[in-house]
Amino acid sequence: QAWGQPGWADYSGVSRTLKACDERTVAAIREALHTVSRPFIEQEVMLALRDRGVLVYDGDLTGRPVSNTSTTYPDVAFGWMGDGVQLGYQAAMVSLHSPTYGRLWLSVERHPGDTVSSSQAEAMVRAAEAQTGARPWRRTDLLTRRIEQERERLRQAEEKMARARERVEQARQRLDQAEQERQEWAQRVADLEARYRERKRPERPHSRLAQARGKLGVRERRVRRRQEELERARRWHEGRRQKVAALRAELERLEQRRAQFEEDNRTNPWPIRAVFRLDGGFGSGSNVALLIEMGYEVYGKATNHQTARALRRRVTADTEWTRVGKNAEMVAWEGQTIANCPYPLDVALERFQTGEKERYGVLLHYGDEKVTADLEGWFAFYNGRQTIEAGIKEGKNVFQMHHLKVRSAAGLEIQELFAAFAANFVRWAAAWLYETNLTAPAPFNHPQPGIKQMVRIAANTSAWVIWQPGGCLLSIL
């Protein structure tokens, strides 16, 4: 009744309908949802900055598996999802910690299933900034120093490449000389063989011919050694050449980043403080460095297991562990570096007791907070990112994102957009009901009720849609 529909088509009919959608449809829906969401997001940004002085973002990548034998989903790929490899998609999601609503989704982007977390960090940050309209001051001073260091590394690498080129040339000259000597001795052997045949002389062990053959063998072995030396020199030179090419590409990328960040700062009259919390899949050194340069305070986990092994080697019998959870302990160090990140980090080794086994992890932090002085607080704040994991679970269980009901690229995008919007909208509606109707029954008598229960109740409640000249009313029976 509320929707003026005698019934709803099953998902296959919806799927067929959404096949008519294209990129323009998706863009229009995205813009419409952003327009509706903007005032709520802006309100929460202002409240967070007023009350806490910081915005806290969480980012994650979650799998959207489909049947491994399916051939009807566009642009799917096999990738790691949950506990195994499955066919499907990956959704890159970013949420904002909201003072009023607890959690608000800012962005969701669908990718093929073989997409990995480490490739999505910058895109997720940019998407969050586009939604909130706020960003921190880019740390171009750090980036400039990094560029200077990269230039010095490039200079040293170019010198090594030049020496490697000289080494190749020297090896080639030695080979040419050895080959010339081999040819001379081969000619001598040929001349002696002809002379011996003419005179019908037998070849004896110590004859001139035998001695010449021996010297020819020496030259032939020398040629083979010189060929191997030349090949090694060429491989070494190729390695130096590739290193120089990689450093030049990296330097160009960093200079482009600095130019972009300088423009970001020029157009950012009100920089804010912001924190980004990311799980281990995003914790590569290059991603951590990028977020630092973008101005964020970073909380993350190390991706490389070698980092945990290196820290474990520092632990001795006298190391003092700090209890941070029921079965978790931590020990931390300041001013540490990890691979591909030139900036000093706070690093903590986690130890978890699971039955008779011990598990280890590494937390990373960059920012002004003295996290090493409060390991329990560091542990608790980082694990506060479980809110995004709960949101992902809610999306799959409550808003049905564990079943992809459409088969078109545009339809899949629309399903992602509406599921994230629905999760936000239910929270906005619940807060509005609580504020406007103090006598509302459970679960609407709380500002943040149980979403699953509320959705079930509201979805099964009859209502009338009343159109009036001034707008539209929804009367719930």
Residue with tokens 């909130």: 132
Q: Name 115's Cβ contacts closer than 8 Å, sequence gap at least 6.
A: 61, 77, 79, 90, 92
Give residue-wise pLDDT tens across range 414-435: 989 999 999 999 889 888 888 8
Structure tokens at 323: 């209890």
Task: Tell me the average pLDDT across 30-56.
Answer: 96
Strand 297-301 versus strand 274-278 pairing type: parallel
Read off the pLDDT band of 354 (50, 70, 90). confident
Closest CA to 30 of 130, 134, 100: 130
| In a domain? residue 59 | no
User: Which phi and psi angles does 404 have, rounded to 5°?
Assistant: -85, 110
- Asked if 427 and 448 count as a contact pair (C-beta separation under 8 A), the reply is yes
- Strands, E assignment, 312-397: 322-325, 328-338, 341-354, 357-366
Structure tokens at 202: 């037998």
For residue 477, the SS3 value is coil
Number of domains in the chain: 1
Q: Which letter, b or e, does each residue of 221-244 get, where b requires 16 or more Cβ atoms within 10 Å of its Cβ?
A: ebbeebeebbeebeebbeebeebb
Q: Name 303's Cβ contacts closer than 8 Å, sequence gap at least 6.
A: 118, 280, 281, 282, 283, 284
Give residue-wise pLDDT tens across range 216-247: 999 999 999 999 999 999 999 999 999 999 99
Give residue-wise pLDDT tens across range 129-152: 999 999 999 999 999 999 999 999
Read off the pLDDT band of 104 (50, 70, 90). very high
Whether 202 shows a pLDDT value over 60: the answer reads: yes
Domain span at residue 242 reads 148-263
Integer Cα distance of 17 and 251 in angstroms = 49
> Which CATH number is 165's domain given?
1.10.287
* 8-state DSSP, 371: G
Task: Tell me the average pLDDT across 108-123.
Answer: 90
Q: How high is the pLDDT of residue 430?
A: 83
Closest CA to 225 of 166, 169, 177: 177
Q: How high is the pLDDT of residue 83?
A: 81
| In a domain? residue 221 | yes
Integer Cα distance of 56 and 385 in angstroms = 10
- Strands, E assignment, 191-311: 274-278, 297-301
Q: How high is the pLDDT of residue 7?
A: 63
| In a domain? residue 171 | yes
